[in-house]
Structure 1
Amino acid sequence: MKFTRKIRLDFLTLALLSSMASAENTLRILTWHGYADPDWVAAFEQKYHSKVELTYISSDDELWEKINRKQANTYDVFAVNTAELQRYIDHNLVTPIKQNQIPNTKNQLPRFRKTEQILGLNRNGHLYAIPFTYSEMGLIYDKKQFKTPPTSMDNLWQTQYRGKIVLYDGSNHNFSLTALTLHANNPFKLSTNEMKQTVDKLLQLRPQNPIFYTTPEQGTQAFINNKAALMFANYGQQQIKLLQNAGADIGYIIPQEGVLAWLNCWAISNTSKNRKLAENWINYTLEKTVSHSLSQRHGLSNTLIGGNLKDSDKILWLEPSENFALRSQYWDRIRAGKARQDAQRQLTK
C-alpha cells in the first residue's frame, strides 16, 4: 500500500512539474489577423521549444477589454498602435522594453530604430513597445482620369470629381485629414476655432456625393463599381494590393501636406509570465523572412524596407484626439447631411 501510494505521489508530482514546465514555456499572444501566421508560429515553437497560444482581436475596443479585464491578465505579448498604447501605460498594463534585448531592431529602418522620435512609444525615459507594421493613409487615384498625379488631399474637394470620390466612414481620421489640408497646428488636437473650420470644410464634402466604405474589400468594390477617381486609403498598402489584384489601373501618392499613419507595435503585458519568450517573439517577427512575408501575403508594410515612404515624406503617426466622442457626434451629423448652420450651432453648445 505504501509503495502504491508512493507511486501515485511520484506520478502526481511529475504531472505537476510537467504542467508547470509547460506553462513556463507557453507564450500567449493577443494580436490581429495576419500578424502571426501558422507557419511563423510553428517555426517559432520549434526554434524555442515552446507552445504558442494565439488569440485574435478585430478592434481596438476588443483589445482593451481583453487586456484590461478584472481577472488576472492571461496574455504575455500583444499588438497595439501608438495612439492606443498611451492608455495601457496610464493603467500600468504594459512593462518597459529594453531595445538591446531585441537585437533584430538593428535591421529596422532608421525611422523605426529611433524610437525616441516616435510620439507615444516612450514615457519617462522608458520604451514601451517595438514597431512592427504600419500603414500610411495616402490617396489612391485612377490613372485614366488624371493626366498628372494629384499632389494633395484637397483634390477630394474639387467639383470635377463629384460622385467619384470614395471616403472611409470614420469620424476621427476624416477630421484629422481635413485638418491637415487646413494646416492645423496639430490635426489630432484641434482648438475650438480649428474645429469649427474643420467642420465647415467637411460639410463642403456633402455636395461631392462621396461613396463611403469601412473595410478594405468594400473600398475596392466601391472604387471599381463607381469608376471612382479618388479614394482616401485608410488601409494604405492593403488597398493598393486589393485594387491591383482586381486589375485597377491606379496610382498612389503621399499628399504634400503630410499623411496620417498608424503604427502597430508589440508590447509586453505587465503580468507576463514569460518575458524572455515574449522578447524572443518580438525579435523573431523582425527577422527578414517573417517581415517580408508580412508584406507579400497581407500587403502590410514592414519596418525593414522602405515601401512607398521616402525620408522626405511627412508622416504623422496617429495620436489620441482631443475629443473622440465629440468628433463622432459631429461626423454623424455631417454624414447625415445636416445643414451647415445646424452643425455649426451644435459646436457652440
Structure 2
Amino acid sequence: MAAVSASARAHLLHHSVFRGVLTLLLGVVFGFGFWSAAPVEAGEKILRVLAWPGYADADVVKAFEQRYQVKVEVTLVDSDEALWAQMHAKDAQSFDVLAANTAEIRRYTQANLLAPLDLASLPNTKKQLPRFQALDAIEGLTSAGKVYAIPFTYSSMGLIYDRKQIPVAPRSMRELWNPQYRGKVLDFNSAQHNFSFTALALGYPHPFDLDAAQMRAIAHKLVELRRNLLTYYTLPEEATAFFIQHKVALMFGNYGTQQVELLRRAGADVGYVIPDEGVLAWLDCWSMTRAATDRPLALAWINYMLEPGVSALLTQRQGLANTLTAPVENRGGAHIVWIGPVEDTQRREELWARIVSGDRSERF
C-alpha cells in the first residue's frame, strides 16, 4: 500500500461501509460496546469511570448502580495516548477511577494523579491468584510503600493471522514486513507499542530504553512497514471489521486474546502466535484518581471489578485472562516482555506522528 497516503487511509477508516460493519459487530454480534448513560437526576451520586472497551459493559455497570444506588458514567478510550489526553483535557469532567497498564500507572503516579488505595476496603484482592496479590513484586503498582493500582486483566500482544491465507503459523514479528502480504496487514496506532515490538523484532535487548541510533533504525523500519499496511486501527472491534471486510492476512494484536475472541465470534478462522523473538504483554489495573469525589465509592467499584462473577464475564465475553483464575491456555516457555516506562514518550509520539503522516524514510 505504498502509494496510499495517510490521509487516504484515514478517509478509508471513516467510510460508511466500515461504520456499518463496526456497528453490526458492536451492537448485534457481541452485545456490548458504546452506550450512553441515562440522564443524571439532581443530587444523585455519580461515579465517573475511564476504561477500555469490554471492561465496563452496560449490564455490569447497571448491577453496580442498583447495588449502590448511584449513576456510573463510563468513558471509553482506544489508546494510552487517548487515556492521557482524557486525564489532561481542559474543562474535562473529573474521573474517579481508571484502568491502565502498569507502565502508565507509574507515569500517572509520578504525575501525582492517583490516590493511594486502602487494601482493607478491597477484600476481593484476597481472592486473586498469589502472583497478583504480591503487589510489591509487580513493577509500577507501588510507590513509597503505598499501593496505587490493583491488577485486573492481562494479555500478550502477538500476531493474529488468517489460517486460510497463512496455513503455516508465522514464527516472527518480522513477517509483518513480508512483501507477500502487501496491503493485507493491520497495525495498531500507537507510538509506544510500535517502537517496542519493532525493537524486539530487530533484536534490541531493551525495547523500552532505546538510544538515538536505535530510534532512527526503528523509525525507518516502521516507514517501511507502511508498504504492507491496509491501515492502522485503534479499537478491537474496528480491527475485526477491517480484518473480515478486506480479508487481512496478518495483524499486530495489540489487544491480544481479546481480538482473537472477537474475530472467531465473527466467523474468522484465525490463529494466534507468540513470536520467537518474544512478545510484549500488558497488565491492566484499576486505580483511583486524586480527583475522586467519593473515595469509598471508587474503592467499591475496584472491589466490585474483582468479584468472581464480574471477572468471569471478562474472560467469557472478551477472551481476556482475569486475575482470579489461572488461564486455560498455557504458553509454556514463551518469552514474555511486560511493557514498562519508555525512555522518551514525547520523542516516540513525535516520530510516530511523522511516520503515520507519510513522511519519507530519508527524513529521519
Distance 1:127 1:315, change over 3 A: farther
Q: Structure 2 residue aligned with 1:243, among 251, 258, 263? A: 263
Q: Can you give the 5+ residue segments of structure 2 that lack an aligned partner in the other structure? A: 1-42
Q: Which moved more, 1:166-175 or 1:70-79?
A: 70-79
For residues 169 and 266 of structure 1, do their structure 2 counterparts lie closer, same or farther at Cα, with a shift above 3 Å needed? closer
Amino acid in structure 2 at the alignment position of 1:228: V
Matching residue of 1:284: 304
> What corresponds to 1:212 in structure 2?
231
**1:273-319: CA deviations, max 9, x gaps?**
54333333222211111111123234444223326564634333333
The separation in 1 between residues aligned to 2:305 and 2:72, in whole angstroms, is 16
Superposed counterparts of 1:128-139, under 5 Å: 128-139=148-159
Q: Compute the TM-score of the two structures, normalised by the length of structure 2.
A: 0.74
Task: Letter of the 2:183 partner, please give it.
Answer: G
Counterpart among 337, 345, 351 of residue 316 in structure 1: 337
Q: Cα RMSD between the aligned structures?
A: 3.1
Indicate which of 319, 324, 330 corresponds to 1:304. Answer: 324
C-alpha distance in 1, partners of 2:89/2:321? 31
Which residue of 2 is the match for residue 6 of structure 1?
Answer: none
Residue 4 of structure 2 corresponds to none
| Other-structure match for 1:329 | 350
Q: TM-score, normalised by structure 1?
A: 0.77
Residue 173 of structure 1 is aligned with which of 177, 193, 210? Answer: 193
Q: How many angstroms apart in 2 are the aligned matches of 1:72 and 1:139?
A: 36
**1:91 matched to 2:106:** no
Instruction: After superposition, give the CA deviation of every residue in 1:116-160 in whole Å (9 maximum; x if it has no partner).
Output: 232221212322110112343211012123343222212222333
CA spacing shift, 1:75–1:226, aligned 2, 3 Å: closer
Which 5+ residue runs of structure 1 have no aligned equivalent? 1-21, 344-349
Aligned to 1:35: 55
Aligned residue number for residue 10 of structure 1: none
Moved more, 282-291 or 331-340: 331-340
User: 1:65 & 1:142 partners in 2: Cα distance?
Assistant: 34
- 1:340 aligns with 361
1:342 to 1:238, Cα distance in 2 relative to 1, 3 A: same
User: How many Å separate the matches in 2 of 1:298 and 1:223?
Assistant: 17
CA gap of 1:217–1:44, structure 2 versus 1, over 3 A, is: closer
Q: Which residue matches 1:58?
A: 77
Over 3 Å counting, the alpha-carbon distance change for 1:290 and 1:190 in structure 2 is same
Counterpart code for 2:75: Y
1:30 maps to a residue whose letter is V
Aligned-pair CA distance for 1:248: 1.4
Of structures 1 and 2, the larger Rg is shown by 1
